[in-house]
């Protein structure tokens, strides 16, 4: 029952822009399919699937019980709640009022180019082609200072660094300091849905995780930026998956360390043993099986579907207008939020720009990390692993290859990045020049880019670091 529930949940979350009848039919079909698989020998049910996928699915079925047992260890897991000391009932009327006040904001209808130009900043759009054929959009707010490259997190885009507005948006603050600001976009998000030979409607287009983003996307964008600016090094600031992909790049393609004068990791995500997110804890044990089933059904992209998200909202947040406002967005269901640092008036703008799409394989890869308690390449199952890696187990990333200076920003209440996992990463890296714990008890994962007190809690420290490198 657990596996079936996980499967249906991800199918629901992957459907966007479809009518209710179609969604209902997909769910019914998925339920019948999974029921059949649990009752009949799997070979008879999926004979049309390739041998590698079949082996992956069978392998997942044998590993799920152990993973579930580990993930449900009540002595180790603390499930955060959306209601905390800072989320008091007395705030309800204020939250509703502030949210409604933001519904008429023109920024809701503007794209990134419109947003930046509206506030009087210049912007350029560049296109970069990766070695494996993806066409990525990179946005630049040009200036005469040194180059800073910003990389977004999972389900994010370059919009993440401007959506908070000119008072708190990182891209604006950096430009005001004189920096030449470049904002990357990973393959598959709303700004990078092109390929030389493939179309997003094809499964092959979505056959990537954050491994490929680190191995191909980041190097291509960094090389392009350095060539365009005629410089040898840049400063890199990544948030969440933007840090994961950097660690992949610097481990797998170590020559790129010499092209980075400083890497700032806002909520570094590598090891995920102690991840707090209830939704991630729920989904992680079944991700190999769910990912295989989604491939069979032709579901390769994960995007939010507000109607389906309400099911999860009721489980995690309860019922009521505040829950409807906050938890209707998949981002908050995954990573939580903090009322103290949340600009509720700007939420309608945030919702119109985030999330921006990702492949199902990115989620599966993170889920594998939660279960394996390691930071390693994608696990395809014994047969394909042996063919790709020469071993039954995928190789761990060689973090010792990372020699570029790294600064890590983390917080106690981050649902994705637990301080214990940060400490493990810190001990594996020999190049951490700064380790900063945000001095705010409820600081959440998304606060690293949209917090109301961003300038005080994040930028003041970041500003000093950038000036020294």
Q: Please list the active-site residues.
A: 240, 445
How does strand 147-151 pair with strand 180-183? parallel
Tell which residue, 432, 435, 453, has the closest CA to residue 444.
453
Torsion of CA 60, 249, 450, 183, to 10 degrees: -130
Adjacent-strand bridge partners of 128: 136
Helix 51-71 and helix 360-372, axial crossing angle in degrees, nearest 10: 50
Is there a contact between 328 and 310 (Cβ–Cβ < 8 Å)?
yes
Structure tokens at 78: 């603390």
Number of C-beta neighbours around residue 131 at 10 A: 10
d(CA 46, CA 375): 31
d(CA 333, CA 335): 6
User: Distances in Å between the alpha carbon of 279 and those of 72, 285, 367, 379?
Assistant: 13, 11, 11, 21
d(CA 465, CA 398): 26
Structure tokens at 109: 């209808």
d(CA 158, CA 162): 8
d(CA 221, CA 244): 16
């Amino acid at each position: 029952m657990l596996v079936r529930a996980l499967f249906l949940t991800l199918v629901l979350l992957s459907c966007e822009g479809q009518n209710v009848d179609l969604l209902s039919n997909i769910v019914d079909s998925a339920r019948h399919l999974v029921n059949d698989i649990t009752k009949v020998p799997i070979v008879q049910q999926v004979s049309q699937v390739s041998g590698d996928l079949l082996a992956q699915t069978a392998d997942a079925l044998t590993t799920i019980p152990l993973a579930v047992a580990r993930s449900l260890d009540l002595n180790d897991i603390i499930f955060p709640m959306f209601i905390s000391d800072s989320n008091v009932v007395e705030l309800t009327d204020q939250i509703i009022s502030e949210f409604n006040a933001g519904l008429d904001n023109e920024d809701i209808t503007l794209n990134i180019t419109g947003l930046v130009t509206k506030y009087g900043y210049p912007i350029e759009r560049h296109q970069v082609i990766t070695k494996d054929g993806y066409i990525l959009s990179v946005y630049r707010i040009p200036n005469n200072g040194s180059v800073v490259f910003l990389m977004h997190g999972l389900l994010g885009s370059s919009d993440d660094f401007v959506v908070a507005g000119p008072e708190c948006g990182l891209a604006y603050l950096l430009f005001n300091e004189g920096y030449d600001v470049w904002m990357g976009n990973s393959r598959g998000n709303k700004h990078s849905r092109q390929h030389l030979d493939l179309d997003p409607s094809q499964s092959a287009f979505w056959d990537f995780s954050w491994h490929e983003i680190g191995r191909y996307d980041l190097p291509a964008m960094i090389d392009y930026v350095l060539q365009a600016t005629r410089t040898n090094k840049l400063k890199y600031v990544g948030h969440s998956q933007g840090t994961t992909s950097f660690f992949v790049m610097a481990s797998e393609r170590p020559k790129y360390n010499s092209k980075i004068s400083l890497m700032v990791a806002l909520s570094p995500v590598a090891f995920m043993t102690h991840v707090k997110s209830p939704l991630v804890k729920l989904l992680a044990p079944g991700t190999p099986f769910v990912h295989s089933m989604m491939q069979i059904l032709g579901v390769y992209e994960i995007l939010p579907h507000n109607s389906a998200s309400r099911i999860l909202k009721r489980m995690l947040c309860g019922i009521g207008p505040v829950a409807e406002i906050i938890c209707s967005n998949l981002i908050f269901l995954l990573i939580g939020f903090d009322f103290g640092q949340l600009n509720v008036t700007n939420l309608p703008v945030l919702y119109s720009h985030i999330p921006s799409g990702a492949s199902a394989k990115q989620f599966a890869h993170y889920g594998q990390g939660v279960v394996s308690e390691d930071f390693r390449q994608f696990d395809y199952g014994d047969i394909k692993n042996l063919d790709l890696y020469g071993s039954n187990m995928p190789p761990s990333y060689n973090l010792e290859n990372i020699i570029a200076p790294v600064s890590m920003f983390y917080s106690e209440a981050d649902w994705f990045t637990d301080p214990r996992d940060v400490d493990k990463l810190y001990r594996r890296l020999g190049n951490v020049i700064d380790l900063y714990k945000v001095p705010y008890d409820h600081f959440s994962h998304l606060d690293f880019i949209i917090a109301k007190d961003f300038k005080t809690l994040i930028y003041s420290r970041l500003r000093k670091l950038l000036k020294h490198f």
